[in-house]
Structure 1
Amino acid sequence: MTVDQARVNRIFLPGTYAEGVPYELFRELRAEAPLWWVEEPPVGEWPAGPGYWAVLRHADVKHVLRSPEDFSSHLGATQIRDPDTPADLAFARTMMLNQDPPGHSRLRRAVAAAFTPRTLRELAAAIENRAAELVTALRPRGEADVVPVAADLPVWTLARILGVPEQDRQLLVDWSNRVIGYQDPDHAESRTADPSALTEAGRAALALRPTVRTAPDGRPLNPRSRAALADMFAYAHALAEQPPPGSIVARMCEAGLRTSEFETMFFLFAVAGNETLRNGLPGGLHSLLTHPGQYRRLSRQPRLIAPATEELLRFWPPVLQFRRTATRDTVLAGRPVRAGAKVVVYHASANRDGSVFPDPDRLDLARTPNDHVSFGFGPHFCVGARLARIQMSALIRRIVTELPGLRLASDAPPKRLVSNFQNGLKELRVRWE
């Protein structure tokens, strides 16, 4: 069997994911070969790229993620799209996500103290209370779009651990929309924060938001560049002038991070820590409601929530892929890979690899073992994974057990995010008794 190159390229195109993750195509490709060359045709105003190797099988994905000496996060950063300029690449490289050991390890230690067992226990109690408040407020309505509800919990949690005042929480949503949803016209231009409701620091930062989408050289402004994020970084520095005690911002100040390291660490928490759960929560709920037998199983047996959370993360991975760059000529899955080549691992494909997960397209809330890679693997395993699990478990358990007769609204199909990076929903309307 030979797969047409145009069909292979579908796994790169953002529009593909607006219709759903192409699991059938991933399965077809895995069956024929473990590694595929993918072209990067132009998308809208974004220019074509040089292409990359797509890694689709579970074992090979884990191999790449645990081998920074061969597959670097630092050389070209971790997004498929190359940074536009050497300056953009240099700035991106200061982010923990885009570093290799030992530099990555130093930055990780600077924030790991925010996720100690004691801290997480205290957060868990507060998160349970917040989840209860959200669902209690929903209950009388009988119908809702659960995406904003699901987005509230991670934004509320992040504001708490970063020390962002309640009035400024919507800035976190605004920044996430622009950075993660830039391929989707509904998010690229969205502004959720009301200036009149913000603190003085929030209003000052919002005034610095770029009003043009082009760089000085005429190219589209990269949403992850320093110029595009001037408002976020101005806010981070204002917060650092008097950081709330015990907050992650305070810990970063105490760690003596360089300016660019402080800025990109704030970016990582404010955007990545928000967006993963903002996608995983409604995605997990959608998975349950399209498998009514499993939904009823969880509603009758809420003690299943721990394995159910892992299975929902496997079944609906919030992050579709991450990029690495080959540090030298090497061999991967039996194929030669040249130094400097992009290597992109597909979590969404690895999580449906039938050699690891029996009957991989079946949702099984009691599945064990469950070696999914939705939080990554190796040195870059998500530092906030335990916190993410706490939030997801709390909200989904409350929704399933306290909104009886929960079902998808038949007259309002879910709306998916246009993105080849985040597996997201923009709208998920549900009804209950």
Structure 2
Amino acid sequence: MVDPRTYVDGVPHELLAALRATSPVVWVEEPPLLGLPGGPGFRLVLRHADVTDVLRQPELFSSWLGATQVRDPSSAEDLGYVRRMMLNLDPPEHGRLRRPVARSFTPRAVAALEASIRANAAMLVDRVLGDADEGVFDFARDLAADLPLLTLADVLGVPEADRWLLYDWSNRVIGFQDPDYAVSAAFDARTGTEAAREALRQRPAPGPDGRMPDPRSRAGMADLYAYAHLLAESKRRTPGRDVMSVLLAQRGEERLSTEEFENMFWLFAVAGNETVRNGLPGAMIALLEHPAQLARLRREPALFDTAVDELLRWWTPVMVFRRTATVDTTIAGTPVRAGEKVVVSFTSANRDERVFAEPDRLDVTRHPNPHLAFGHGPHFCLGARLARCQLRALLEALLARTAGVSYAGEPAYLRSNFQRGVKRLPIRWRRH
């Protein structure tokens, strides 16, 4: 369960189902792996009802005490720094940072972005297909990587020319366990802004062992933080309606400290990109694995209203999140001691037979669908509407322009026990 190499071959759904059937909570050891030290172990929460119980009780299961990544930060200094991230705060501090940002993700705000998202999706699909009647492309790289970058550039206020910086940052953070991604350098500085080139001068270099510094430490992402401050200078001179301008305009108790601002930029630049980027090829894989459902969606595009949530449930891009018990307590009758790590499995909860009939089967008409791909409770994903919009726009654009899609090779999965990532997804398509 903790070895990232397991997930190169796919999620062990059969193991999760077997564990879920015997106990709602299991103890998982954390041995040393891939050059990283071992950990104290954790309680893995497997069933839907218990996952939601943990997530809606921050007074019992804290995001702040140990932060939200399963692996403990390497030092007390690193823990102290990431504790200033909205993702790693508990109420009421969490609400202080969330409120101003939430105004950028209301239904009205997302509706205003929808036209540009659809236009970008259509542009990307047309670029990939060209004038040919059939062909092969990499769905993960050629389509799924770029749409969330374009969207995030709009939302965050990053110049479009710099958007592939976000791609490299996401790779380094989410893919630090994968040698293909840990030293990602896809961004071409010659095509970006001067701020991007200046930030790249502070990009960390691999150590003697070839490993990059821990991307959860400030030193491990020095180029990201340098860029954040350069962008902030630009926004102070010429504010816009983007999230960065909104944050910089806050006063009073909602004013961000330097550490909070840096962490907020990290959160949007990485988390705002990565979940959609992996949810998109995951949705494509779900449809390719269920050709009857794909055919039905082609015939009845109105089913996208329910299909998008079912695709997210079936794939579940973020597999786990961590909390820390604040006091001695219990989960589904299982004793939990104060200070113990409690890790909720969204992957397991989204296949829980107690909630979802035939959970391993994709059903684009499934309703209701209380999946947990966006989390639950105070930390429910702010960008959920935006993510749904992007999935729908790209898949609709592709299906509208093709008569058939199929595998052109085996997908390649990310070596990660956190993000269910797709590195390559070769697709064969035809127009008629």
* Structure 1 and Structure 2 fold alike (TM over 0.5): yes
Q: Are residue 231 (structure 1) and residue 223 (structure 2) matched?
A: yes
Give the counterpart of 1:248 among 219, 222, 243: 243
Query: Aligned partners of 1:383, 1:367: CA distance in 2, in Å?
Result: 23
Could you tell me which amino acid in structure 2 is paired with residue 79 of structure 1?
Q
Could you tell me which amino acid in structure 2 is paired with residue 78 of structure 1?
T
Residue in 2 that maps onto 1:117:
107
Deviation at 1:143, TM superposition (A): 1.1
Q: When the two structures are superposed, what TM-score results if normalisation uses the length of structure 2?
A: 0.95
Residue in 2 that maps onto 1:3:
none
Residue in 1 that maps onto 2:418:
421
Could you tell me which amino acid in structure 1 is paired with residue 6 of structure 2?
T
Q: Are residue 130 (structure 1) and residue 125 (structure 2) matched?
A: no
Residue in 1 that maps onto 2:177:
183
Deviation at 1:219, TM superposition (A): 10
Q: 1:222 to 1:130 in 2, by over 3 A?
A: same
Query: Aligned partners of 2:24, 2:295: CA distance in 1, in Å?
Result: 37
- Give the ranges of 4+ consecutive aligned residues of structure 1 lying more than 4 Å apart after TM superposition: none
Query: Aligned partners of 2:344, 2:191: CA distance in 1, in Å?
Result: 41
Give the counterpart of 2:213 among 211, 221, 229: 221
Deviation at 1:137, TM superposition (A): 1.5
Query: Aligned partners of 1:391, 1:55: CA distance in 2, in Å?
Result: 30
Deviation at 1:220, TM superposition (A): 7.3
Give the counterpart of 2:72 among 82, 90, 95: 82
Residue in 2 that maps onto 1:392:
391
Query: Aligned partners of 1:27, 1:214: CA distance in 2, in Å?
Result: 42
Could you tell me which amino acid in structure 1 is paired with residue 419 of structure 2?
Q
1:302 touches 1:401 (CA, 8 Å); kept in 2? no
1:177 touches 1:190 (CA, 8 Å); kept in 2? yes
More displaced, 335-344 or 218-227? 218-227
Deviation at 1:139, TM superposition (A): 2.2
Deviation at 1:196, TM superposition (A): 1.3
| Cα offsets for 1:288-332 (capped at 9, x unmatched) | 011110110101111111100000000000100000000000011
Could you tell me which amino acid in structure 2 is paired with residue 251 of structure 1?
V
The SS at the match of 1:201 is helix
| Cα offsets for 1:151-179 (capped at 9, x unmatched) | 11111000111111121111000100000
| Cα offsets for 1:68-89 (capped at 9, x unmatched) | 0000000000000101111100
Query: Aligned partners of 1:380, 1:118: CA distance in 2, in Å?
Result: 21
Q: Are residue 304 (structure 1) and residue 303 (structure 2) matched?
A: yes
Could you tell me which amino acid in structure 1 is paired with residue 429 of structure 2?
W
Deviation at 1:214, TM superposition (A): 7.6
Query: Aligned partners of 1:347, 1:303: CA distance in 2, in Å?
Result: 27
The residue correspondences of 1:189-208 to structure 2 (distance < 5 A) are: 189-208=183-202
Query: Aligned partners of 1:230, 1:64: CA distance in 2, in Å?
Result: 34
The residue correspondences of 1:15-414 to structure 2 (distance < 5 A) are: 15-140=5-130, 142-148=135-141, 149-213=143-207, 221-243=213-235, 244-255=239-250, 256-409=255-408, 412-414=409-411
Q: Please, which runs of 5 or more residues in structure 1 have no aligned partner?
A: 1-10
Query: Aligned partners of 1:134, 1:124: CA distance in 2, in Å?
Result: 15
Deviation at 1:52, TM superposition (A): 0.3
1:94 touches 1:264 (CA, 8 Å); kept in 2? yes
Query: Aligned partners of 2:115, 2:389: CA distance in 1, in Å?
Result: 10
Number of positions where the alignment pairs a residue of Structure 1 with one of Structure 2: 419
The SS at the match of 1:263 is helix
Deviation at 1:118, TM superposition (A): 2.5
Query: Aligned partners of 2:262, 2:342: CA distance in 1, in Å?
Result: 27
Query: Aligned partners of 1:331, 1:119: CA distance in 2, in Å?
Result: 40
2:56 touches 2:377 (CA, 8 Å); kept in 1? yes
Q: Please, which runs of 5 or more residues in structure 2 have no aligned partner?
A: none
Q: 1:219 to 1:396 in 2, by over 3 A?
A: closer
Deviation at 1:116, TM superposition (A): 2.5
Q: When the two structures are superposed, what TM-score results if normalisation uses the length of structure 1?
A: 0.95
1:294 touches 1:363 (CA, 8 Å); kept in 2? yes
Residue in 2 that maps onto 1:4:
none
